[in-house]
Amino acid sequence: MEPDEILERYRRAENGFDAVLAAVPPDKWDAASACERWTVRDVVGHVIWGLEVLRHHLTGQEYTGRTGPPGSLHPGELAGDDPLAGWRAARGATAAVLTEEVLDRPAPPRLTENRPDATIRDFLSIATFDTLVHTWDIGSALGQDVRMEPDLVAPSFSVARLIITRTPDTFGPRVPPPPGADPQAKLLAFVGRSPA
């Protein structure tokens, strides 16, 4: 049986995020990221928040933490003193319950607002997009040349077109892509990042 495509894409997006985090120097966790108002540690905390909400939902528990949603202040608290270790622990705990058998279950309402029929599969499409962009937010701010896998960019761009709401606490105005922009640069420009 072939692995589920959406789950497999999500795991590859997580792999890319992990690789960028592994290259963050210890003294740069509190440096500014390309995600406005958030440090590198804050971006990691936000991604951990999504994992925690999903894991709690899949195990039938209510997640009551208030730190971490889009636009929140100081989500880096969730990342702790060692954000790489915090991310890996949250990723591992969630991976243990995120199997192909749960993909058609309802998604956590907190992660798919206004989509009462959304499934875990739908959530993973959104999470893949979110993880890709935040991988770039961290890596580019620290001088890494972050290259997204093209077959992750295309479906993520489709998701972005459907879900983006532009507010000061989420996504800013789209910016013009540079001449001859590739799909990654076009996605980043669409979500308000300057790919140059």
Q: Give the predicted TM-score (pTM) of the model.
A: 0.93
User: CA-based angle 68:73:78, to the nearest 5?
Assistant: 40
Q: What would the CATH number be for the domain defined by 10-190?
A: 1.20.120.450
Q: Which residue has the higher pLDDT, 46 or 63?
A: 46
- Residue 119 CA to residue 154 CA, distance in Å, equals 21
Domain ranges of the chain: 10-190
CB 44 within 8 A of CB 86: yes
Question: Would you give the end-to-end CA distance of the chain in angstroms?
Answer: 41
Which residues, other chains included, contact 161 with Cβ-Cβ below 8 Å and sequence gap of 6+?
Answer: 190
pLDDT of residue 102: 95
Q: What is the pLDDT of residues 70-121, one digit of tens each?
A: 888 899 999 999 999 999 999 999 999 999 999 999 998 766 666 778 999 9
